[in-house]
Amino acid sequence: MSSTTQSILSPTSLPLPSHTFSSRQTPQHPTIHKQTLKPPPPITTTTTTTTNPKSRHESKPTSSWIDKLRSQTRSGLFQEAIWTYIEMTTSGTPPDNFAFPAVLKSISALRDLNFGKQIHASVIKLGYHSSSVTVANTLLHMYGKCGDIGDVLQVFDRIPQRDQVSWNSMISALCKFEEWESTLESFLLMQSEHVEPSSFTLVSVALACSHLNRHDGLLLGKQVHGYSLRKGDEKTFTNNALMAMYAKLGRVDYSKSVFEQFENRDMVSWNTIISSLTQNDRFVEALILFRLMVLEGIKPDGVTFASVLPACSHLELLGIGKEIHAYTLRNDDIIANSFVGSALVDMYCNCGQVKSGRQVFDGVSEQRIGLWNAMIAGYAQKGFDEEALRLFIEMEVVAGLNSNPTTMASVLPAWVRCDSFSKKEGIHGYVVKRGFEKDRYVQNALMDMYSRVGKLDISMKIFKSMEVRDLVSWNTMITGYVISGRHNDALLLIHEMQRVREAKDGSNDDHEEKEKVVYRPNTITLMTILPSCAALAALAKGKEIHAYAIRNALASDVAVGSALVDMYAKCGCLSLSRRVFNEMPKTNIITWNVLIMAYGMHGQGEEALELFKKMLTKGDVKGEVVKPNEVTFIAIFAACSHSRMVSQGLDLFNRMKADYGIEPTPDHYACIVDLLGRAGQLDEAYELITSMPSGSDRSGAWSSLLGSCRIHKNVKLGEIAAENLFHLEPNVASHYVLLSNIYSSAGLWEKAKEVRKTMKETGIKKEPGCSWIEFNDEVHKFTAGDLSHPQSEQLHEFFERLSERMKKEGYVPDTSCVLHNIDEEEKEYLLCGHSEKLAIAFGILNTPPGTTIRVAKNLRVCNDCHVATKFISKIVKRDIIVRDVKRFHHFREGSCSCGDYW
């Protein structure tokens, strides 16, 4: 912020419009006699009634009328002042240059334009419009308050000798009507007429600068600031305006600098800087300044609390939020404030106290639309979808309030998730009917809705049609790709997001250097895209994102840190996953669950169990104990299952309710069935399913049992499990595939064929086996028997040669994995085309010797591929890491980390 600028807003600083104020048409006001004035409804006055009011009026001197008029106007008795004016004129006392300003101020306060025009006619008739600049200025002020910009300009152009007040009134009116460039034009003309700007002028000009595009606004705003410094303007309201200007233009540090450099700070000063910090996500600083404000003896008001409570909400500081709530309860005016109520509702809901938020909502007497929106959003964000929808209906039907775009953006997620509405797209029609379809926030919510109902093409259509996209728009579209499993598209979109330059806020400014923005990923972007890196085992891309997070101070965010822990673990780098975990400044239950799950997926059940114990005793980096939740036990049971830790898993399952207060859910039962079944205890697993509480969803448990029957080739129990699954989930392809596999493994080809026939007749399609491998910042995808890859022919030839070497080392193809009744030679050929083998071959051919090969697969690794990969790792002397749908396999020198137990 430089104060050395030589001239303020020189004529070259801003292009002037082709017109000037002097070209305005002069208004033709009709002459209106005093007798046509209609008095307002009867009011109570302080005058004493006499039997002869006319004689009293005639004897009353003009100065008495003027004194009374002025006194009533200063006291806010505007109706009484107008009545006094009428009494004065009807008594025969003509108004003068002292009476007109007083009555015009009262008219301005009452916004009575028609009466103001009648007074204007009297002013013209008596000639004061040209003889008294004070009267002309109050007319200007009156039209600025009650009329339109045309009225203001016409009055201004007729003032023969304009003074500083004239210009200030004119500039203030232009601001009111949001004529920002005309405001700056008039400021230039003011200086050209050698009228010196005052503090009031600078306040209006600063406001105008704040509404320009960021480039021009900052350029001109700094000149205004420099001018105020040269003139020694240290008035509080000037500094407040400069702070607000800088904050609006995205320079909150400048606002803070102005705040710190003047002493006469008032309530507006504190509220402005606290609000600026909060709106720019600098929540800790906002709370620190709020504390300093209280320590300096400044009593917070409703604006203060409405500004600081969002900081408590985002930081989830429930304790401080409750302290503020307690303070507001002692002040009836504050607790009744709808804006404070909205901020309290948001704070409680964001901190997980939805019931408390509803209590605040019910206790606010003035329930404006913002309060309803806060409560609806609170319900929706915390998954209380039916409550959100009921409140939405109550708002429109019972309270009679019309929803706005914020309402729709809040209620749409609840609408999507709520099972009561089968046709989700119906809400789109309502949005169009209300005229909100072009609102950016509503468009973002609609994109999310269509992504979640599987109509990603409509989401992309909305995305491409948006006139203005913000970071939320990009994040929403990236999320849509991720939840739809289109991970490559998600990675491509994040690249495009950082490359595309868009006009900020859809500005249609003709300025040559129209402001453009390049959207940079934030914490939401990173925690959204990292699962795509994990799904594709795109380690290089994940490391690139990690580096970006470190450079931009985002890696310390607990959500980003948790996503990084998960990404490294799922890319096969358990040591890096643990390192990220250890370096996180803050962890939560999600972080612990991710790490426990990671160790379990890598077959390190003992380490997972140790982590669980550490979480219960030492907890996070501050030594605070972290309480396990339902997901924690799913993670630890899975770890026990993959490491043959049957007794430890059963012990925890039996104690989880008594020791940890967590009631076993169907997912927990499914995990224990998998634990027992994987270990070959199929009868015990079956008994556990039959002992589940009545009414429980047993689909997960039956699915676990069916998978175990596939491993142990148990046809009888496999048929029982499949029969139950066909009843519960008749359209899930994996159930039919597993049963077919069981039959094929047992040589029951006719039964296997019958299952496949049923799938064909009902239109159920098997998910094709796919494998991914990252190379040169690109993810290569292979499917079984793939011939579409550019190197397909080379890969098949290479693997055939490799198979010959493997056979010499003792490899015998496990043809039981081929689920068709064909001859052995054909079976061996089909085995060579399995997707993970092609991906491994691609890695060997395209990476330097000794490089670790990392492959991800969407299905379980078959027995033959598992055996073959052990031989490959020994022959080519490579570490090969394969992640299938269940766990990791680390192949090295002819052995696998799973110990052939998977």
Q: Express each pLDDT in 804-813 by its tens digit.
A: 899 898 988 8
Average pLDDT value for residue range 109-116: 86
Residue 22 clears pLDDT 70, i.e. is over it: no
Q: What was the pLDDT predicted at 33?
A: 34
Q: At what angle do helices 385-397 and 369-381 cross, to 10 degrees?
A: 160
Average pLDDT value for residue range 25-32: 34
Q: Where are the domains of the chain?
A: 61-161, 171-264, 269-348, 691-766, 770-896
Q: What mean pLDDT, rounded, does the chain reach?
A: 85
State how far the Cα of 502 lies from the Cα of 188, in Å rounded to an integer.
32
Q: 3-class SS at 775?
A: strand
For residue 37, give both structure tokens.
């004035």
pLDDT band of 825, cuts 50, 70, 90: low
The fold adopted by the segment(s) 691-766 is 1.25.40
Q: Express each pLDDT in 205-237 by its tens digit.
A: 999 999 888 888 899 999 999 988 988 888 898
Comparing CA positions, the residue from 366, 301, 292 lying closest to residue 327 is: 301
State how far the Cα of 220 lies from the Cα of 225, in Å rounded to an integer.
9
In the numeric block, the tokens 């790709």 are attached to: 481
Element housing 562 (H / E): helix 558-570
Q: What was the pLDDT predicted at 504?
A: 57
Range from 274-288, 505-519, 878-892 carrying the lowest mean pLDDT:
505-519
CB atoms within 10 A of CB 326: 9
**Higher-confidence position of 62 and 690:** 690
Please tell me the pTM assigned to this model.
0.73
pLDDT band of 37, cuts 50, 70, 90: very low
pLDDT band of 15, cuts 50, 70, 90: very low
Average pLDDT value for residue range 144-167: 84
Options 1.10.10, 2.60.40, 1.10.8, 1.25.40; which CATH number does 61-161 get? Answer: 1.25.40
Same fold, 61-161 and 691-766: yes
Average pLDDT value for residue range 449-467: 91
Find out whether 81 and 69 touch, Cβ atoms under 8 Å: yes
Q: Express each pLDDT in 176-198 by its tens digit.
A: 888 888 888 888 888 888 888 88
Q: Express each pLDDT in 872-901 by its tens digit.
A: 999 999 999 999 888 899 999 999 998 888
Q: What percent of the chain has pLDDT over 70?
A: 88
Residue 68 clears pLDDT 80, i.e. is over it: yes
Question: Which runs of E-coded beta strand occur in 745-872?
Answer: 770-775, 778-783, 853-857
Range from 41-55, 375-389, 432-446, 768-782 carrying the lowest mean pLDDT:
41-55
| Strands 880-883 and 853-857, bridge-based pairing | parallel
Residue 508 clears pLDDT 50, i.e. is over it: no
State how far the Cα of 686 lies from the Cα of 705, in Å rounded to an integer.
7
pLDDT band of 136, cuts 50, 70, 90: confident
Find out whether 389 and 407 touch, Cβ atoms under 8 Å: no
Q: What was the pLDDT predicted at 322?
A: 94
Q: What was the pLDDT predicted at 511?
A: 42
| Strands 880-883 and 888-892, bridge-based pairing | antiparallel
B/e letters for 271-300, b = 16+ CB within 10 Å, e = fewer, are bbbbbbbbebebbebbbebbeebeeeebeb
Q: Express each pLDDT in 688-732 by its tens digit.
A: 999 999 889 999 999 999 999 999 999 999 999 999 999 999 999
Q: Express each pLDDT in 322-380 by its tens digit.
A: 999 998 888 877 877 889 999 999 999 999 999 999 999 998 888 899 999 999 999 99
Residue 171 clears pLDDT 80, i.e. is over it: yes
pLDDT band of 512, cuts 50, 70, 90: very low
Q: What was the pLDDT predicted at 835?
A: 87
State how far the Cα of 315 lies from the Cα of 244, in Å rounded to an integer.
24
State how far the Cα of 408 lies from the Cα of 431, in Å rounded to an integer.
7
State how far the Cα of 433 lies from the Cα of 412, in Å rounded to an integer.
15
Residue 120 clears pLDDT 70, i.e. is over it: yes
Q: What percent of the chain has pLDDT over 90?
A: 49
Residues 6+ apart with CB under 8 A from 539: 533, 568, 571, 572, 573, 774, 854
Q: What is the DSSP letter of 238?
A: H
160 HSE (CA, 13 A, CB side):
6
pLDDT band of 304, cuts 50, 70, 90: very high
